[in-house]
Structures are given as structure tokens and as C-alpha cells.
């Protein structure tokens, strides 16, 4: 016997997930079944969940990156010589 589960997610995320799973030879249904089976078998989420965000995506770093992009678009970048140590 099978049941239907309905979930909501952002459309771009769904499309990206479908592409990824397709590359793996999986459907979205198969991928979710794998996730749920692993969670039930191990009695835990099969990956680490953390409130600690990746510092690369911090607001302060994103400001620096946006400003760097703006400088590049304005042609204001300074070329530096690579010095190998």
C-alpha cells in the first residue's frame, strides 16, 4: 500500500532538485523515499542540521562581494602581482 505526501517548496529549488536527481538516475519521489528510509532506519536526519551559517554567505561578506562586483563593473579593480611564498 502506498500513500501520497504533498510538500511545498520554491519552484526554482524544485527544478534544480529534479535536474540533480535526474542526473543521478532518480526521480523526486525516489530521492525523498531514500531520505525518509535513511531517517527512519537511523532514527535521525541523515545529515547535520546547524544554526551556524556558512560565513561565506554572511551579510558582511556579501556586502564586500557586492562592492567588489560593482568595482569590477566600473573598471576600478587594481591588478596585483601574485607573490608565491
Q: For residue 48, is pLDDT > 90? A: no
Domain that holds residue 56: 11-73
For 57-81, how does the pLDDT look when each residue is reduced to its tens digit (9 = 90+)?
A: 888 999 999 999 999 999 998 888 8
- The answer as to whether 50 is a domain residue is yes
User: So what's the pLDDT on residue 39?
Assistant: 96
- The answer as to whether 85 is a domain residue is no
For 9-26, how does the pLDDT look when each residue is reduced to its tens digit (9 = 90+)?
A: 999 999 999 999 999 999
Contacts of 14 (CB under 8 A, 6+ apart): 28
User: So what's the pLDDT on residue 81?
Assistant: 86
pTM exceeds 0.75 for this model: no
- The answer as to whether 37 is a domain residue is yes
- The answer as to whether 19 is a domain residue is yes
- The answer as to whether 3 is a domain residue is no
What the block records as the C-alpha cell of 79 is: 591588478
- The answer as to whether 56 is a domain residue is yes
**DSSP calls for 54-75:** PGGGSHHHHHHHHHHHHHHHTT
Total tally of structural domains belonging to the chain: 1
**DSSP calls for 11-60:** HHHHHHHHHHHHHTT--HHHHHHHHHHHHHHHTS-SS---SPPPGGGSHH
- The answer as to whether 26 is a domain residue is yes
Amino acid at each position: 500500500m502506498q500513500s501520497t505526501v504533498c510538500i511545498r517548496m520554491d519552484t526554482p529549488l524544485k527544478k534544480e532538485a529534479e535536474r540533480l536527481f535526474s542526473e543521478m538516475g532518480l526521480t523526486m519521489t525516489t530521492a525523498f523515499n531514500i531520505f525518509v528510509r535513511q531517517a527512519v532506519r537511523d532514527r535521525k536526519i541523515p545529515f547535520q542540521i546547524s544554526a551556524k551559517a556558512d560565513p561565506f554567505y554572511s551579510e558582511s561578506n556579501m556586502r564586500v562581494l557586492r562592492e567588489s562586483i560593482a568595482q569590477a563593473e566600473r573598471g576600478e579593480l587594481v591588478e596585483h602581482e601574485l607573490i608565491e611564498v
